[in-house]
Structure 1
Amino acid sequence: MKQKIITLKHVAEAANVSVTAVSLVLNGKICQIPESTKERIWEKARKLHYRPNSIALSLATKKTKTIGIIIPDITNAFFAQSVHYLQSELTRHGYVSLLCDSEERFDKDYQSIELLASRQVDGLILALSAESFLESNQQKIVELLHQISIPHVFFDRCGIPGKTVVSVDNQACGAKVIRYLLRNGHKQIGVISGLLSLSSSRERLMGVREALSEVGLKLDQHQLITTTFSVESGRLAASRFDNKVTAIFAFDDLLAYGVMEALRAKGVRVPEDISLVGFDDLLFSALLGCRLTTISQPIKDMANKCCELLMAMIKTPFIAQSIRLPGELIIRDSVQHI
């Protein structure tokens, strides 16, 4: 038997008030209704198991209370953790989220934005794939975002002028790692970067070069490998450095895990034979046999700030902001002084 749908009218009749009064109270609107009447309305609504009709509400308010989130890889623990904090903060603001995983593909980013726009989300949180930031693809993304005209904030990565983005201060973190390695006697440092279409990779690399230049050093081409963020990419990259490198800075922890595995397979010890630093401070970084020195990103703070900016943007458009939060160098066991 189909369950009876309880409407505002049923609650109004039970509370002996108008439908308008019920709507004002249950939607939290400012009104002159006495507190005793408000309590009676809430009591009757609970007793009748009233549930608001989200479709009717969205038609009336032109808001769906829904936010679309696009990430490049849900299997990457950094993005999985980011989604956890983003969804938690959105819930606190009274929003639900629709999550899309682009699998590091431009076409899926584009399709996901179109899909979320068709669902009439109130806002978008975008951590797009490296492919989407290639020049030709980036222009298509910019045009699509202009066309759909939905408030949006970029998370972790962007590089598109005039867009609001929240990230860690990648340049400062890159420099911080290199200065730490230099203090420990390392001058021949190998760097494994993400693809340079990503602003996060470019900024970390700028920090690397900045810190090296402070002591009269530079990063030679043979000391830099660009690749995708994955364990397998780290394995492959590790074999491409010559024996002159005394330390490796991997631009994320997944890469560092792959490097550590490849070195172990060759009988090379971390940190006795070569030092290693990662980036992200994922859970397993503190649990490895040789605990990984790495940069900890303030993921919760980044997620909270991202949601805060998006909520403000939904209410009133404002000039784009670039928010960069400080990261922390977590010193563990994987760097040795030489």
Structure 2
Amino acid sequence: MSVLDRAAPPHTEQDAPAQAPRSARRALTVGALFTGLTLALIALVLLAAGVGQLRVPPAEVLGSVLHRLGLDIGPMPGHPQGEAALWTIRFPRVAMALLVGAALATAGALMQGVFGNPLAEPGVVGVSSGAAVGACAVIVTGASFLGPWTVAVAAFVCGLITTLLVYATARDGGRTEVVTLVLTGVAVNAVAGALLGLLTFLGDTQAREQIVFWQLGSLNGTRWPYVAVVAPVVLVGLVGAMVVARRLDLLALGERAARHLGVDVERLRLGTVVLVALLTAVAVAFVGIIAFVGLVVPHLVRMAVGPGHRVLVPASALGGAVLLVGADLVARTAVPYADLPIGMLTAVVGGPFFFWLIRRTRRSAGGWA
């Protein structure tokens, strides 16, 4: 008899009628969630691409997209500069928001799955702080060994190195304890914070402004070459997340049960942490630190459709894209002739949500274990 057979009682004929409506309701909920998120994302993309100093109606935005796809359907932008504004400035920024939102939310879902804690988020393993140190070091020193790509590459590499360092430090006797990993991440984040303070102190006025702006996060200045770098990395990360989704469901049963079911827990944990580092580092490298997306979105999706990662991961990616495209739209339009840091907006929303989540988790658990 397998572990699953022992863990779950056999289903009787009386159970079937009760389970069928429950499965149908869940399938309906999942379908409604994906449909709603997809429609919301399409609407936000059309709206965000048309909003700016040069306004382009959504119908003309859609017509421009269809025209690029070879379909002469719908009106084209009436302003002579409308087409150039859409495809040179607006669409790269919207595409980057979509990719970064999907990457951060997927990374958050993976972190919460591998740690078994809804309070986990990608910054726990130090990837964001490590990337920030790399980027800020390049800004202060004025290094330009890769031209305009220097800051992004330095942030990406330092984020990956920091994450692998945290994981290697947390290993003990071939095993990695989750608590040790989290505490190591906290220590690394503290050291990275001190290094950021030192770099800010050493930098000149222009460097300090760049550091502050980079730490607050912004999609301003996004171009298609940046999107072309981020897109394949995010795609690989999403595919990898779907590959490990079923094993994360088994890990939710407990490490011992997962091992009995054939899951190599250490390999799964290492692979998942690498995926989180990859997704977060490539997002942070081009837009700076954007907080709380990886915490808020997966938790909200989990409340709607349950903890199964084969649904949670793609739904979180879609929800993250919706959230960040919408947040960037607010960042560009909330204050006339100003571009607010998008990381500041997500923190304003995410901070109170995190506080509510802590209180809710404490009440449901009857106190901290």
> Normalising by the residue count of structure 1, what TM-score does the alignment of the two structures yield?
0.29
Query: Which entry has the higher C-alpha Rg, 1 or 2?
Result: 1
Greater relative CO, 1 or 2 (CA 8 Å, sep 6+) = 2
Higher strand share: 1
